[in-house]
Amino acid sequence: MKPLPILLLISTLLYSLCSYLQNGIPASYWDWRHELVLLSGVQLMTVMSAAMLLATRPAWLEKPLSGLDKMYGLHKQLGIAAGILLASHWLVKLSPKLVMAMEWAAPRIKRSGGIKDPLVSFAKDVGEWAAWAVLAMVILALLRAVPYRFWRKVHKLFAPLFLMGAFHGLILMPRSMWLTPVGALMAALLMSGSICAIYSLLGKIGKSRKVNGHISQITPLPAQQLEVICQMDSHWPGHQAGQFALVSFNPSEGAHPYTIASAPRKNGELRFIIKALGDYTRTLPQDLKVGGKVIIEGPYGCFNGASHGPHQAWIAGGIGITPFLAWLESPAFKGQQIDFYYCVKSAKDAARLEEIQAACLAKKLRLHLIESDAGQRLNIAEIKAETLDDIWYCGPQSLGKAIGEHLAQMSKPPRFHHEAFAMR
């Protein structure tokens, strides 16, 4: 089972059990409404706290979640789930107007007297303000027309919004619930999420993994690709072939993820090959200069085929060649039987094709260059997946999805590994 359903299942079962033992089965619409408001609140805090934790990029979670790229994907799923749960929480809270209008339940008898707690009223208002803002952020995240630069800045608001939601939950959680396992869960969620939010607001995310360097070489490549060699200082911790880093050439622009297209080198060099796919990357050939400063955070990722089975297929689509360039440069790959499929528009658009051909010859890899301009297409059936231990893929999502669907139809498919770069 995937992480998101597990989180929702645990929080739902734990709340339901504690509620049943404490209050029994709800007897009326008003009792059900009360329980559903609290349940959706606990679920919401669960996914928001998990999203906040992943936003800090914890190194200890990389291996269990198969790399930072997969963590980004889970972070996005948690954000969407938070939007849905938030809407549900809000709609259940507002449901009496509809229920009373349709005469589906008897009106609630309100207790007379008593003074409203101003802190409770304020917590309700804070929760409503945060709810509107979070829903707006979820919608913005799903609108591809919104520029990434704008979204990156807006996304930073999630930390203070989480703190507002945590305050809302802390004040409105029934006191009787704090002494139950649900109370312990909520306390852990509120505390851990708030610590992560403050960590983010202080600008600490990734700071310990950032290393300064400078650009030592820039080489234009075919098909709007740019090879950038960066010389790092002595603090670079080293990397495994196939990993990536968050690279910042311009502090005002922020960091972008690029695969390190080289194996570890003794001189501290890192190679990146960047394709002009968006507004920012299209400006790099004009903006980058030899000697320019660079800040690199990492390394990240678990895309490492050296530790897996002896019979493999590598599939690269376009700029997805970059991790395989690092693998071909690495001495770790010895003795495996590997078929390497490189899908490009044409041979002249391939990045470092001569280097790839020479490395494949030296390592005895079978290289298959597939040129779409020549009418060639990757035939997944011809890969003979039933004979393989692992298939490694990096390239367009559409091709990766097609490969995954084909393998899902097999009774004993090979292990399928793929990168999942998606910053939003």
Contact 276, 224 (CB under 8 A): yes
**Whether residue 28 has pLDDT greater than 60:** yes
**Whether residue 260 has pLDDT greater than 60:** yes
Provide the pLDDT for residue 151: 84
- As a whole number, mean pLDDT of residues 16-23 equals 90
- As a whole number, mean pLDDT of residues 159-182 equals 94
Q: Give me 33's structure tokens.
A: 């409404």
CATH code of domain 307-418: 3.40.50.80
Helix axes 158-172, 181-201, angle to 10 degrees: 150
Contacts of 373 (CB under 8 A, 6+ apart): 345, 346
**Whether residue 30 has pLDDT greater than 60:** yes
Q: pTM for the complete prediction? A: 0.90
Categorize the per-residue pLDDT at 144 as very low, low, confident or very high, splitting at 50, 70 and 90.
Answer: confident
- As a whole number, mean pLDDT of residues 6-12 equals 96
- As a whole number, mean pLDDT of residues 223-240 equals 93
In angstroms, the Cα distances linking 359 to 54, 221, 280 are 37, 19, 32
**Whether residue 380 has pLDDT greater than 60:** yes
- As a whole number, mean pLDDT of residues 266-273 equals 93
| Predicted confidence (pLDDT) per residue in 38-82, tens digit | 999 999 999 999 999 999 999 999 999 999 999 999 999 999 999
The matching CATH number, chosen from 3.65.10.10, 2.40.30.10, 3.40.30.10, 3.40.190.290, for 207-300 is: 2.40.30.10
Query: Could you give the strand order of the β-sheet that contains 244-248, starting from the edge strand earlier in sequence?
Result: 256-259, 244-248, 293-300, 210-221, 225-232, 269-275
What is the percent of the chain with per-residue pLDDT over 70, rounded to a whole number? 98
Place of tokens 């493999």: 312
Categorize the per-residue pLDDT at 400 as very low, low, confident or very high, splitting at 50, 70 and 90.
Answer: very high
Helix axes 29-55, 68-94, angle to 10 degrees: 160
